[in-house]
Amino acid sequence: MKKRKFIVFLLFCFLKVVGQQKITVMKIDVTKIPKEIKYKGKIKNAITWNDKLGENFLLTCETGVFETKNPQAEDSGDSEIYAYHFIRYKNSIKQNWKIYDYVKDCPVDIIASFVKNTLNITDLNNDGIGEIWVMYKTGCHGDISPLPMKIIMYQGKQKLAMRGTTRVKISDTDYEGGNYTFDKTFNEAPKYYRDYAKKMWNNNMYERWE
């Protein structure tokens, strides 16, 4: 009986260690991106990892500001951002999902960019499939007001979104913005996803205008 309990204990410890293994993420040199992968904009991040879905590729891209076609205001500009997830299936690579957001016809300052050092792959539910976290800001502004900001998390094809604004100091003692909301899917997901997202948000919500 004692021997059986000991074996069960060892099995439990083994499963716990396996479940806690981290997904190894590697950066990809732009020149080494497979030719089957098509994208728009300038690559800001290119990473790869392996999980139960197979060999994964993730690209985040920004176009920068470009001239608006048929503008409503003089000197207007556009800017776009893209995030792509691809998976290699046997001998082919297929797109799993794409994020697209933008600022259009803006006559003042344009922001459409991914937040630095926030792209991450986790496995918080220990199911062997990577959770992809992307954070970015978009805005058309001529003052120091807060900017719209989002966290998008994907696992497989399931999308969870957190939307709000950056937080800005407007006087020596007062701040504006920093609030956020979770979408329905995020609210119905396990709490540890929201806890992770809140920490990510709080670490990156402050906007410091030059």
Question: Into how many domains does the chain fold?
Answer: 1
pLDDT tens per residue, range 22-60: 899 999 999 999 999 999 999 999 999 999 999 999 999
Domain of 117 in residue numbering reads as: 25-207
pLDDT tens per residue, range 55-110: 999 999 999 999 999 888 888 999 999 999 999 988 899 999 999 999 999 999 99
Q: What is the pTM of this model?
A: 0.87
- Burial grade of 89 (CB within 10 A; 0-12, 13-18, 19 or more): exposed
DSSP letter at 89 equals E
pLDDT tens per residue, range 154-172: 999 999 999 999 999 888 8
pLDDT tens per residue, range 108-155: 999 999 999 999 999 999 999 999 999 999 999 888 899 999 999 999
